[in-house]
Structure 1
Amino acid sequence: MSEDQKKQLESQLWNIANTLRGKMGADEFRDYILGFIFFKYLSEKMHLYANSLLTEEDITEFTDIDETSADGKEMLEAIEEESVANLGYFLYPSELFHALAKKGAQAKDNFILEDLTKVLKHIETSTQGSDSEDDFEALFEEIDLDSSKLGKTVNQRNDLIAKVFTHLDAIDFKLDDVEADVLGDAYEYLIGQFASGAGKKAGEFYTPQQVSTILAKIVTADKQSGERTLKSVYDPTCGSGSLLLRVAKEVEDVDGFYGQEMNPTTYNLARMNMILHDVHFSRFDLRNEDTLEHPAKEHADLRFEAIVANPPFSAKWSASTIHETDERFSDYGKLAPKTKADFAFVQHMVHHLDENGTMACVLPHGVLFRGAAEGVIRKYLIAERNYLHAVIGLPANIFFGTGIPTCILVLKKNRHGVDSKTDDVLFIDASQGFEKVGNQNQLRTEDIEKIVSTYTARESLEKFSHLATRAEIEENDYNLNIPRYVDTFEEEEPVDLSAVADELVALENEMRTTNETISGFCKELGIKTPFKHE
């Protein structure tokens, strides 16, 4: 698919999404349109898979199977078994998106809301008792077809949904093109569009693509030559799952995707996003719970090769004394403050980082210099563990819903140089590299490339980066504020005082001439001069 065709698809989907807008906020009609797109995806996937099983049967088209006949039922039973085992779910021919869209487009007998409710429920129940059950459980619970926001009457709601289905049905998602992730890219585009309209809430589910790209390239920097398979990637605050999927674009393959998300709506979106990007249900394990207070038991003993995260900035958490014996926090001597959980997320991630892994997370600038408990934790990570690998300062106003400047912390457990253990830290000040687009600042391609190449080379560049020794950091009492290490001061050009004096004399003479002219005019008019004329 060409770039123009891709943009056309994105535009089509966004226009259909706006059909649902009505009185809803961006985060509300997002759940409907993304859920319907996902249902269409599951339908087309099911259709293609079923047809692949029927190549040697008398009936070679899934939708031609008679669901009421004995032979048809037997055939569908066999297809269901294969489909649940391989796709993770099952749909009957009459339950496919196209069948509902076709019925909704009829002049008469076009009521589809009841059918749609049953179909979405059946997708979930078809997985019960199978390995994919957790991945499909309550997946469509945010789609409330009885909501008055879809229309005051049931017929109005039906007409609106039928209209959306008709428009979506006309779009070819090209799922048979295994080389292109057309729908996946379009889905990411829509998530980004919804984030731009969701204001402060956007931070709950979306990291700007430019920042995601930097994080993904950093944690896969060691994979750019040789073995390009990543064993595992983890995001403890995974939102819509976009960051995890961005990492996958930087390598040839990822064996396992892991994540945790507290918001149930966003958690559903993340699971849809995974499946829609053709990540098999056996390759991802996402959990819906508070990462700090209730870390997933299924992840407790796991260590990950790559960790990426954009945790909620300075979130509140319990900081309960019970956490003092939690192995994630117990070695540091202090817990992160109740009102600022930033370092609690860092500690959680460090705990789950594999010995040869890399983690990169976005945090507010305050983590670099705030004292008290945060200063103790920061010093422990550097002086006792030597985990801090790089600090990258980003421009202000690049995140949705907040204009604060942010930074990226990069940590590694196994930091070895060519001849000895590395204990220096790379500081990068990328705060000035951006372009303004609307109300947001955005990193350009060249800005991203400069950050990543400097990180990879670990080089000091004038007014941009500095490779600081442990002694320098100790001298600064483990304060990591970037201006202490990267001098971006621009010296002003020297002022030529003689030239300034000459300009002042010339100005004085010009003013005297002007005053004399005005005085002459006043004298001719017989009025008082507005100033004392010498």
Structure 2
Amino acid sequence: MAIKKTELYSSLWASCDELRGGMDASQYKDYVLTLLFMKYVSDKYKGDPYGMILVPEGASFDDMVALKGDKEIGDRINKIIARLAEENDLKGVIDVADFNDEDKLGKGKEMIDRLSKLIGIFEGLDLSANRADGDDLLGDAYEYLMRHFATESGKSKGQFYTPSEVSQILSRVIGISDDTPQDASVYDPTCGSGSLLLKASDQAPRGLSIFGQEMDNATSALARMNMILHNTATAKIWKGNTLSDPQWKDESGQLKTFDFAVANPPFSNKNWTSGLNPEEDSFDRFVWGIPPEKNGDYAFLLHIIKSLKSTGKGAVILPHGVLFRGNAEARIRENLIKQGYIKGIIGLPANLFYGTGIPACIIVIDKENAHTRKGIFMVDASKGFMKDGNKNRLRAQDIHKIVDVFTHQRELPGYSRMVSLSEIAANDYNLNIPRYIDSSEAEDLHDLSAHLQGGIPNRDIDALAAYWRVFPSLRHTLFRTDREGYSRCLVPAAEVKTTILNHPEFRIFAEQSLQPFTAWCERAALDQIRPGDSPKQLIEQIGEDLLEAYEPVPLLDRYDIYQILMDYWADSLQDDVYLLVQEGWQAGRVLRELVAKKGEKLKEQPDLVIAKTKYKADLIPPALIVARYFAEQQAEIDRLQTELDSAAQALESYLEENSSDDGLLSDALNDKDKVTKASVTARLKLATDPEEIATLTQAKKLFDAETKAKKALKESQEALDQAVFQQYPKLSEAEIKTLIVEDKWLATLKACIEAEIERITQQLANRVRELEERYAEPLPAITRQVEALSEKVAGHLKAMGLEWTL
């Protein structure tokens, strides 16, 4: 059976991390990713004289496997890699990691064991069937490992990887479309491992011509391998310092210009002038001003602007400081704004990147329309993210919302707006986003009059207008006018949610909110998935359709609905789809036998155990088979489970009642201070007191009842498991589709959307309850209660002979 994405990723990371030992993750990644590359090209191209990579004799991963346990394993691995590198002009790319380095890998047996186990991790993977294109497992696995290595590498060593979520935004806001030709070029002057370039190229239907430069030697090698794994071996990646020694030049020696540019330069580089005199720059990059000597943010931005064609477009990640810092940077910023080069600014959440925790922004450049620009479109996306360990991550809905709003220049209160150049000029060309977009939450003000006289301010109720537009009569069910400007709540706080859920208008809303989902299910046609289909194209298509379907639905945020689908995709749906496009629907009949390696435990939980043999159902969980074909048997098992629970409870109660120190079962206690069936049976043979005999007999009877119930339950469960096991190979393709599509996928998504509908209701209920409790008792009433209680306390104290005066 084909490899599941999530299984591949997690097993690779867990195994590799376990073998890392004391080595820094930023170093260990070079070994792991090199072996992944070797395994992939060996599986895919070995024996293929026309393959993208030629695998000569003695230079495959199989030759590495033969070295497991070899005393010279490190040196021989180096030679195998060197042979493949020489054959494919990859010297300095795949041979960067030294597999014979005792300082990193240990000496003698430690090195032999570590490398042998590391090879063993990849040995069991068959990667020949997994395509290395925009829908591959390996390219994504490579990125997955880099993200984890970046997370583990620490502040100073995580810059080789830009989070995929941010890469997606950059690639989608620079104007690449379905009409973009393959010979259009994309450039990244600080390309790291190449993720930004690959994401941008993926946006074009036939890819783009890729150009990049990276200063770090090992990271540059990662980028080259990454390109090959993504089927872009023609990508051109140069090594070197972009600012002091740019490699991409035209015939006249000036900077080569490109159609698109994406970049995540090192933040606030203090050594950007190393090897460079900006006042005598032969490429005229600093005509709009020279950045501060100790801060190179604008140096990279100016380099990118100079490297774009007159119609070029780009997006650059920079720290927020570039938007408002003064002096030299203020002059550069003013000049760029006056030139019209800056199309937009997107403010991102803090703590997204691996090299720093400071907030960053994306500056979008558009030279083509610079002369007609009248404003800059700003987006404050700083509040849309999820926590992921010690970092923040953008969710699928955050990415989509940013791209939608920016692409369509859609103005949303507190989130985005077009800011005129005149307004920016009036603010001294300061681009700090909070100056133009107020994304702060409105303060929840208390009403003094309501606290004094009671009642809920109508302005607080009116603030829930979005709900009243959908539930017009619900407002009158919950509130009545009390006095001018104030209302009373008609429903006790504890009954607010139930009142809303049972209201006819809510029921109509709930039904109507599921109609777009029902229609979407028909259009998605998930039962038509065929081998060879593209999972990424599928999720993009059905995701966009679901997003559009929920656009007109009130109260529900369509991006929240979209996130439900994307979360389920990441959790399990993508694994199912990847199996189906590789194995076909017949994979639903397959139960995979789980066998642990000698001395190891199973890494997966079995779904079925038949005669001690353990099986995993990759597509159809046994519970779905049971629900559709064996509901009566399951009901009987549920009944037997209830009987067992009752028997166990009766036994426990009886033992507790009679097992105290002076209880009649105290003599039946075993060494562990617990009455057992064996101890009761043994004591019963010796007992002579009639009352004790009766107690022991009853205890034995309860033990026997529990044992009988356990046996009946076990036998019924084993019979059901056997029936389910035999049902799998009998399933027709139509039945498999029903079980997977209807019973598994769509049922799960529907339940999640229903939960989201209820969550919206919960928000309304919480607010109504909060307002009711806040103003339930006016201050005078509270004061009278306090006075009455104080008088009571004083009276009691006086009766006790205690009295004082204030």
TM-score over 0.5 for the alignment? yes
Q: Distance in 1 between matches of 2:354 and 2:247?
A: 28
Compute the RMSD of aligned alpha carbons. Answer: 2.6
How big is each residue's C-alpha offset from its partner over 1:144-175, in whole Å with a ceiling of 9 and x where there is no partner? 42224423x32321122112212211101135
* 1:162 and 2:126 correspond: no
Q: Which is higher, the Rg of structure 1 or of structure 2?
A: 2
For 1:209, give the aligned amino acid: S
* 1:267 and 2:220 correspond: yes
For 2:198, give the aligned amino acid: L
Instruction: Tell me the TM-score normalized by structure 2.
Output: 0.56
- State whether residues 360 and 408 of structure 1, in contact with CA within 8 Å, keep that contact through their aligned partners in structure 2: yes
How big is each residue's C-alpha offset from its partner over 1:404-433, in whole Å with a ceiling of 9 and x where there is no partner? 2211100111117xxx82332111111122
| Structure 1 residue 354 displacement after superposition | 1.5
| Structure 1 residue 329 displacement after superposition | 2.9
How big is each residue's C-alpha offset from its partner over 1:218-245, in whole Å with a ceiling of 9 and x where there is no partner? 12x341x434536111111111111111
For 2:109, give the aligned amino acid: N
Of 765, 789, 792, 1:517 maps to: 792
**Paired residue for 1:470?**
421
How big is each residue's C-alpha offset from its partner over 1:66-120, in whole Å with a ceiling of 9 and x where there is no partner? xxxxxxxxxxxxxxxxx7xx53xx5433331112203416xxx675323212112
Of 424, 434, 437, 2:375 maps to: 424
**Paired residue for 1:499?**
450
- Aligned in 2, Cα 1:339/1:175: closer, same or farther, shift over 3 Å? farther
**Paired residue for 1:78?**
none
Report matched runs for 1:69-468 at 5 Å. Answer: 87=53, 90-104=54-68, 111-127=72-88, 132=89, 135-137=90-92, 139-151=94-106, 153-175=107-129, 177=131, 180-219=135-174, 221-223=175-177, 225-227=178-180, 229=182, 231-280=184-233, 283-296=234-247, 300-319=254-273, 322-326=277-281, 327-332=283-288, 334-383=289-338, 385-415=339-369, 421-468=372-419
- Structure 1 gap ranges (5+): 54-82
For 1:33, give the aligned amino acid: V
Q: Distance in 2 between matches of 1:144 and 1:249?
A: 34
For 1:7, give the aligned amino acid: T
- Aligned in 2, Cα 1:310/1:157: closer, same or farther, shift over 3 Å? same
Q: Distance in 2 between matches of 1:401 and 1:520?
A: 68
Q: Distance in 1 between matches of 2:273 and 2:157?
A: 26
Q: Distance in 1 between matches of 2:783 and 2:168?
A: 58
Q: Distance in 1 between matches of 2:272 and 2:212?
A: 21
Q: Distance in 1 between matches of 2:264 and 2:117?
A: 37
For 1:261, give the aligned amino acid: E
Task: Name the stretch that deviates more: 38-47 or 5-14.
Answer: 38-47
**Paired residue for 1:26?**
25
- Aligned in 2, Cα 1:521/1:342: closer, same or farther, shift over 3 Å? same
- Aligned in 2, Cα 1:29/1:330: closer, same or farther, shift over 3 Å? closer
Q: Distance in 2 between matches of 1:25 and 1:218?
A: 35
Instruction: Tell me the TM-score normalized by structure 1.
Output: 0.82
For 1:331, give the aligned amino acid: V
- Aligned in 2, Cα 1:149/1:523: closer, same or farther, shift over 3 Å? farther
For 2:416, give the aligned amino acid: S
| Structure 1 residue 525 displacement after superposition | 4.2
- Structure 2 gap ranges (5+): 454-777
- Aligned in 2, Cα 1:523/1:48: closer, same or farther, shift over 3 Å? farther
Q: Distance in 2 between matches of 1:294 and 1:516?
A: 87
User: How many aligned residue pairs are there?
Assistant: 476
Q: Distance in 2 between matches of 1:184 and 1:162?
A: 24
For 1:267, give the aligned amino acid: S
Q: Distance in 1 between matches of 2:73 and 2:230?
A: 28
**Paired residue for 1:75?**
none
**Paired residue for 1:508?**
783
- Aligned in 2, Cα 1:301/1:485: closer, same or farther, shift over 3 Å? same
Q: Secondary structure at the match of 1:257?
A: strand
| Structure 1 residue 498 displacement after superposition | 1.4
| Structure 1 residue 121 displacement after superposition | 2.3
| Structure 1 residue 365 displacement after superposition | 0.8
**Paired residue for 1:37?**
36
Q: Distance in 1 between matches of 2:337 and 2:183?
A: 27
Q: Distance in 2 between matches of 1:222 and 1:185?
A: 22
- State whether residues 13 and 145 of structure 2, in contact with CA within 8 Å, keep that contact through their aligned partners in structure 1: yes
Q: Distance in 2 between matches of 1:399 and 1:514?
A: 58
- Aligned in 2, Cα 1:155/1:244: closer, same or farther, shift over 3 Å? same
| Structure 1 residue 14 displacement after superposition | 1.3
How big is each residue's C-alpha offset from its partner over 1:268-304, in whole Å with a ceiling of 9 and x where there is no partner? 2112211222212xx2221222222222255753111
Q: Distance in 2 between matches of 1:479 and 1:523?
A: 71
- Aligned in 2, Cα 1:491/1:322: closer, same or farther, shift over 3 Å? same
Runs of 4+ in 1 over 6 A off after TM superposition: none
User: Which has more helix, going by share of residues?
Assistant: 2
Q: Secondary structure at the match of 1:207?
A: coil
For 1:30, give the aligned amino acid: K
Q: Distance in 2 between matches of 1:144 and 1:113?
A: 5
- Aligned in 2, Cα 1:176/1:524: closer, same or farther, shift over 3 Å? closer
For 1:31, give the aligned amino acid: D
Q: Distance in 1 between matches of 2:783 and 2:118?
A: 74
**Paired residue for 1:49?**
48
Q: Distance in 1 between matches of 2:128 and 2:7?
A: 14
Q: Distance in 2 between matches of 1:235 and 1:526?
A: 87
| Structure 1 residue 487 displacement after superposition | 3.1
Q: Secondary structure at the match of 1:358?
A: strand
- State whether residues 345 and 376 of structure 2, in contact with CA within 8 Å, keep that contact through their aligned partners in structure 1: yes
